[in-house]
Structure 1
């Protein structure tokens, strides 16, 4: 079995419904995962848009998710610390938590939901940003899973 992440909100490679974007309620989709490696102590999530005009735009950073958890519910609240010990950082909108797709009008952008299985609990300060998370994850990634959706306005 291999480490996987998925959502029932949209198919892999399919259009993301407006509900999960700035054109709708802008809530995070429910995510499910399975088969984290045996040595995983925590999970981290990075959601980004590599097609943004100014370079890759980070929409969500989340870490210290318990490795034994099976997913996240829809509409994770924009709080730095979550029940169970997970922590959220600032996205490129300058806000804590999920910030949905919100590209300029034009062609569709790709949004990657990348989940990392880590061999430790990071204990990174809540409210940190993506570069801090990536630094903390170095040499601790056991496996990575990915799901991608598209959105255009």
Structure 2
């Protein structure tokens, strides 16, 4: 079941940039709340709460990516893409990945995932080996990515 799959969060190796979550933990299990709610999975499809601090000097914006490198597609599976998060923002609440809720900070955008739409799409791997999920927060030197 997808809720039993491990998740890993990434932190910058430069300086003290730290990423934390009340919903997920490095090497932990994914809660049903974060699991996708289609393709045979019955989770809540709620994006996790994320917080970050001590961004590198010169940070002008942030981006968040969630990726499953173990998906049998040749390039993995992109579950969440958020960019143009203003530099003065240090967290996103749970559920911010739902475009209908308007919980992202002003100016932040969500990119299309491998589910075909913008917004968070939780884990829902096929039966078999556990999948790894990497949630990465990037501190960027530009205010906006023109995507």
Q: Considering the TM-score relative to the shorter chain, is it more than 0.5?
A: yes
Partner of 2:129: 107
The offset of 1:123, in angstroms, is: 4.2
Cα RMSD of the aligned pairs, angstroms, is: 1.6
The 5 A counterparts of 1:1-153 are: 2-22=16-36, 23-55=42-74, 56-76=76-96, 77-78=98-99, 82-125=104-147
Higher strand share goes to which structure? 1
| TM-score, scaled relative to structure 2 | 0.78
After superposition, the Cα gap between the structure-2 partners of 1:85 and 1:52, relative to the gap in structure 1 and judged at 3 Å, is same
Could you list the per-position Cα deviations for residues 5-52 of structure 1 after superposition, in whole angstroms to 9, with x for gaps in the alignment?
121112211111011012311010100101111200000111100000
Structure 2 Cα separation of the partners of residues 114 and 18 of structure 1:
20
Structure 2 Cα separation of the partners of residues 84 and 3 of structure 1:
23
- Helix, strand or coil at the partner of 1:109: coil
Structure 2, unaligned runs of 5 or more: 1-14, 37-41
Q: Which runs of 4+ in 1 moved over 4 A?
A: none
The offset of 1:67, in angstroms, is: 1.5
Could you list the per-position Cα deviations for residues 69-115 of structure 1 after superposition, in whole angstroms to 9, with x for gaps in the alignment?
11100001226x84421011100000111000010012211100011
